[in-house]
Amino acid sequence: MKNNIKVALFFLFVCVGFSLSICNIFSSYNGLLWASGLSLVSAIIIFVVFFKMNKLLPLFFSLLFSIGYLIRGVIVGLNPSLLDDLCPKAPDELCFSFTVGLIGWFMFVLGALITGRPKRLECKYTYGKKYIIITNCLIIVGLFSRAVHQAYSNSSFSSTFLGQLSTIGFICMLSRLVVARKEEAKYIWAIIFIYSGLGLLSGQRAACFLPIIAVIICSILIEGQFKPKKLILNLGTVILLFVVSYPFLTQVKLVMSKQRVDAVGKERVTLAQDVMTSIEMKQDMPDGNVLTAFSSSILAVSKRMSHLEIGAVSVIRGVERWGFLGGRSFYHSLIQFIPRKIWKNKPFIGFGEEVYYLQYGNRFGAATVPIAVDFFMNFGFVSLIIGMAVVGYIYSLLNNIVIEKPSPFGIAYLSVIAFDLAYSGRGIPWSVFVIASYGMVCYFLARICKIRTQSVGM
């Protein structure tokens, strides 16, 4: 295995080195295309290494990085006209954004490989009625909170407290799935699908699919062994469903958006009745060509998950206007845990709203700022190189702890935070928040419920 890692690192160094050279020497769309394609080869090699090393969290991070930077770079390099009118179109800006993302991922991989391969033990769990009662109560509270949060998430109370409470309920669902027998598992699955379906009330496309992805991750961690066919089949099915339903979900989002809620003066639960009458599927089926509509959905999803353009807005235009942040993201990572009721003038966490305003000229939303870009925005390449290596090490360490010492709440914890940490679209503060807050919740729940983990062999 060590020889395989050495070979993979050699190819990684070569591919990344050539990619950075091509991208910066030929600051053009062709340069971006070749650099993205070459880096994609190295990413596939790293996928295989992480898969064989049972590093699920670093694998997901690399996968979403590839979608956000590499695949998007290939698409933009082939057809620059697909860029949004309000996004940077200068090749040198996009190439520099690509450089920041690629260096960040390279350091992430190096940090992730330090911890080695985790060894999984087969375990059985013993628990009492206390665990059943507590988790049942929290699941009920979580479902109620999810419904209210999604339906009325234009209020500050709902978007903070109830959102976290619903996630705690979802953690309990996954923990029950870990210990459930086949008969009980059917009911847990039904509850999880209800939880996922409630995401339609907010119009947020990701709210419907993230719980399903978390369940897939949970099932992989329960087995303890990564099976390529099963992983590819499950994730492929979810991705296909997301792409196919993307036009429908986009229409739902338009009807249920916060701007529409504020403008119309109705709550989302009322606007939900207008969704079906507002959707015109013919608009998403040009000339009745299903293949054309499907390809349009793929391009729309790649644009939605792209980090390339928003990275260019941040690292080029953002630095020109504001300069480097000088550690503001690290400061926000600490103060975010102070409630606004205690500190009424607490600053807005992150700089997503500022980047959104810089790009679109209004404050109707917040941009997704990749964690690599966030590190770069603080102290340039110094914080990028050090920070992403530390992130890779922490992600890999969390992954190894859960796999080597499995527990119901530990598996549920990693399953819930996996996508947030892998996508890292809300920068450093959010990554710190999900690790710390949900980690403490799972720790205290495990202590209160007193679940015992017993090893039964290799």
Q: What is the DSSP string of 214-237?
A: HHHHHHHHHH-S--HHHHHHHHHH
Instruction: Express the helix, strand and coil content of the chain in percent, nearest 5 each.
Output: 80, 0, 20
State the DSSP code for 327: S
Q: What is the pTM of this model?
A: 0.84
196 in Cβ contact with 212 (< 8 Å)? yes
pLDDT in tens, 130-187: 899 999 999 999 898 888 877 665 444 445 677 788 889 999 999 998 888 777 888 8
pLDDT of residue 252: 64
pLDDT-derived band at 90 (thresholds 50, 70, 90) equals confident
Exposed/middle/buried for residue 386 (C-beta within 10 Å: 0-12, 13-18, 19+):
middle
Task: Name the residue with higher pLDDT: 217 or 457.
Answer: 217
Task: Name the residue with higher pLDDT: 154 or 38.
Answer: 38
If you average pLDDT over each of 118-132, 228-242, 316-330, 428-442, which comes out highest?
A: 428-442
What does the block give as tokens for 173?
């669902």
Indicate whether 226 pLDDT > 80.
no
Indicate whether 218 pLDDT > 60.
yes
Percentage of residues in the chain having pLDDT higher than 90: 11
Q: What is the dihedral of CA 329, 331, 335, 336, to 10 degrees?
A: 10
pLDDT in tens, 361-379: 666 666 778 888 889 989 9
pLDDT of residue 203: 61
pLDDT of residue 146: 85
Residue located via tokens 């929290």:
138
Phi then psi for residue 123, to 5 deg, are -130, 160
pLDDT of residue 283: 46
If you average pLDDT over each of 199-213, 248-262, 323-337, which comes out highest?
A: 323-337
Phi then psi for residue 124, to 5 deg, are -130, 155
Whole-number average pLDDT of the chain: 78
pLDDT-derived band at 392 (thresholds 50, 70, 90) equals very high
Indicate whether 400 pLDDT > 70.
yes
pLDDT of residue 386: 94
pLDDT in tens, 50-84: 888 888 888 888 888 888 888 888 888 888 877 76
Indicate whether 108 pLDDT > 90.
yes
Q: Helix, strand or coil for residue 182?
A: helix
pLDDT in tens, 245-303: 666 666 666 665 555 555 555 555 565 555 555 544 444 444 445 556 556 667 766 77
pLDDT of residue 444: 92
Percentage of residues in the chain having pLDDT higher than 70: 73
50 in Cβ contact with 66 (< 8 Å)? no
pLDDT-derived band at 241 (thresholds 50, 70, 90) equals confident
Task: Name the residue with higher pLDDT: 66 or 244.
Answer: 66
Indicate whether 431 pLDDT > 80.
yes
151 in Cβ contact with 269 (< 8 Å)? yes
pLDDT of residue 281: 44
